[in-house]
Amino acid sequence: MKNKNWSESNSINLGWITAGVFLLLLVCMGKSEANYNFPPKDNITMDVEMVNGTSGTYTCPSARHCYIKSLQYEARGAEQYCVSLVMKRNGKVIWWRKYQ
Average pLDDT over residues 8-37: 74
Per the domain annotation, does 67 fall within a domain?
A: yes
User: Which string of DSSP letters, residue by residue, matches 28-48?
Assistant: HH---------SPPP-EEEEE
Per the domain annotation, does 61 fall within a domain?
A: yes
Per the domain annotation, does 51 fall within a domain?
A: yes
Per the domain annotation, does 2 fall within a domain?
A: no
Stated pTM of the model:
0.58
Picking from 74, 29, 78, 69, the residue whose alpha carbon sits closest to that of residue 49 is: 78
Cβ atoms of 64 and 56 within 8 Å: the answer is no
Per-residue confidence at 2, pLDDT binned at 50, 70, 90? Answer: low
Residue 14's pLDDT is 76
Tell me: the pLDDT tens digits for 56-89?
999 999 999 999 999 998 898 888 888 999 999 9
Cβ atoms of 86 and 46 within 8 Å: the answer is yes
Residue 79's pLDDT is 84
Per-residue confidence at 7, pLDDT binned at 50, 70, 90? Answer: low
Cβ atoms of 69 and 45 within 8 Å: the answer is no
The domain in which residue 81 lies consists of 44-98
Per the domain annotation, does 48 fall within a domain?
A: yes
Give the up-direction half-sphere exposure of residue 55: CA atoms within 13 A in the CB hemisphere.
11
